[in-house]
Amino acid sequence: MYSLLRKFLFLFDAEVIHVFSLNMMSFINTTGLLKLFIKKRIDAPVTVMGITFPNAVGLAAGMDKNARHIDALSQCGFGFVEVGTVTPLPQPGNDKPRLFRLQADHAIINRMGFNNEGVDTLVDHVKQSNWYKRSNGFKQKHGRCILGINIGKNKATPLENAVDDYLICMQQVYNYADYITINISSPNTPGLRKLQHGEGLSDLLIQLKNKQTELSQKNQRYVPLAVKIAPDLDEAEIKDIADRLLAAEIDAVIATNTTNSRPSSLLCQQLATEAGGLSGQPILDLSTRVLKQLVKALDSKIPVIAVGGIASAADAMEKINAGASLVQIYTGFIYSGPKLISDCALVLKNH
C-alpha cells in the first residue's frame, strides 16, 4: 500500500509533499485512525545513555524540525524520535528548491540550511503535544517513546560565537528532552563542520558539559548529550574526535550526517550535481566505515547511534554488528514507509 502512495506523492515537489505528508499524518492521528495503517510498535527495550528506549530504531533529525508532529511520529513504531535541528532564532534556510529525490538511487540531496522556527517555538510545540502531557514530567514510564532534541547554530552567528548558540538552545530545551544532540556536522551551514576539529571542538564540548552539570543540578535531572558527526572524515580525524569526546565525557555519538561526496555509482548523475548533503542507500558503506572506525577509536567506552543509508532490516543489523547501540532512519522511511521501522525493530529484537 505504501509503494502505491509513494508513487502518487513522488509526482509532486519534494518539499511541498514533505510538509503535506507530515500534516496529513498528524491530522489522521488526531482522528485516532493512524493506528489502522501502522503496525503496533515492536517492544524490545534497550538501555543506552541511562535511558530505556522501547526499541532500538529511531527517526533521525531533520524531518520534524519544529517538533510539530511528535504525536503522530511517535505512533509510527519508532523507539525514539529526534526533532530539530533547531537554532536560537528562527531562520528561513536556503533558497528553494533545496530538496531533491534521486529516485533510482533511493537517495535524497538536501541543502535545507536549518530552516526552522526557532527554539522557543519548538519548546512550545513540545509542551503542547499529548506526548509531553502523557510523559508526566519525564518520569520513566514503560514504553514511552523517547524524544531527542537536536540543536545547532544560526547561519548569521559567526563561527567563533557558535558555542553561545548551542548554550542558548541547551538551556531552553533541557527540560523538554530525553537527550540533546549537538549537531556540528550539517554540510549546509557554512563553516559548521570546522567545529568538529582541534582545540575548538574540545572548548565547545567542555562548555557544553559545564552547562549540563549546572542544569542537571538545578533541575535534578541529568539529560545526556550526544554529538553528531559527518561521514566525510578520515581515520586520523575520527581518532582525534573520539579522543576529545572521551576526554569531555560526552554521553553518545551519532554517526553519521549526510555526505558531501558523490559515489560514482549514482544512477541519477544529473541530480547528483546539486549542492547539498546526500543521504539514503548510497551512503550506507561510507557511513558504516566511519561507524566502525569510531567504535574502535572509542574503545566501546561511549555508545554510538548509527544513521546513514539504512534501507532494510539487514542494513540495521549491519550497523549493530559494527558496534552501534541504536539506529536511526530518515531517507529509508521516505522510500519504504513505516514497515521498515517494524522490520528493523523485529530483526534487532531477535538478534
Of 31-39, 41-49, 140-148, 306-314, which part binds ligand FMN (CB under 6 A)? 306-314
Q: Which of residues 1-60 bind ligand FMN (CB under 6 A)?
A: 60
186 among known catalytic residues: yes
Q: Is 157 in the site for ligand FMN (CB under 6 A)?
A: no
Task: Give the total of residues touching ligand FMN (CB under 6 A).
Answer: 26
Sole binder of ligand FMN in the list 25, 42, 58, 62 (CB under 6 A): 62
Cβ atoms of 21 and 9 within 8 Å: the answer is yes
Sole binder of ligand FMN in the list 26, 29, 66, 150 (CB under 6 A): 150
Q: Is 154 in the site for ligand FMN (CB under 6 A)?
A: no
| Nine-digit cell string for 336 | 519504504
Cβ atoms of 2 and 21 within 8 Å: the answer is no
Cβ atoms of 313 and 329 within 8 Å: the answer is no
Q: Is 258 in the site for ligand FMN (CB under 6 A)?
A: yes
Q: Is 101 helix (H, G, I), strand (E, B) or coil?
A: strand
Q: Is 329 in the site for ligand FMN (CB under 6 A)?
A: yes
309: left (phi over 0), alpha (psi -120 to 50) or beta: left
Closest to ligand FMN by CB, 216 vs 268, is 268
Q: Is 309 in the site for ligand FMN (CB under 6 A)?
A: yes
φ, ψ (nearest 5 deg) of residue 68: -80, -20
Task: Report the distance separating Cα 181 and Cα 176, nearest Å.
Answer: 13
Whose CB is nearest to ligand FMN? 62
Q: Is 226 in the site for ligand FMN (CB under 6 A)?
A: no
Q: Is 304 in the site for ligand FMN (CB under 6 A)?
A: no
Sole binder of ligand FMN in the list 332, 340, 342, 345 (CB under 6 A): 332
Considering only CA atoms, give the Rg of the chain.
19
Choose the catalytic residue: 26, 74, 129, 186: 186
Of 22-30, 70-78, 105-113, 210-218, which part binds ligand FMN (CB under 6 A)? 105-113
For residue 248, the one-letter residue type is: A
φ, ψ (nearest 5 deg) of residue 260: -80, -15
Q: Is 99 in the site for ligand FMN (CB under 6 A)?
A: yes
Of 34-42, 134-142, 265-273, 301-309, which part binds ligand FMN (CB under 6 A)? 301-309
Cβ atoms of 65 and 82 within 8 Å: the answer is no
Nearest to 151 by CA among 175, 168, 134: 168
Q: Is 306 helix (H, G, I), strand (E, B) or coil?
A: strand
> Using CB under 6 A as the criterion, what x/- string covers residues 186-225 for binding ligand FMN?
x---------------------------------------
Cβ atoms of 244 and 205 within 8 Å: the answer is yes
- What b/e string do you get for 299-324 counting C-beta neighbours within 10 Å, with b at 16 or more? eeebbbbbbbbbbbbebbbbbbebbb
CB of 85 to ligand FMN, least distance (A): 4
Catalytic residue ranges: 186
Q: What are the residues binding ligand FMN (CB under 6 A)?
A: 60-62, 65, 85, 99, 108, 110, 112, 150, 183, 186, 228, 257-258, 279-280, 283, 307-310, 329-332
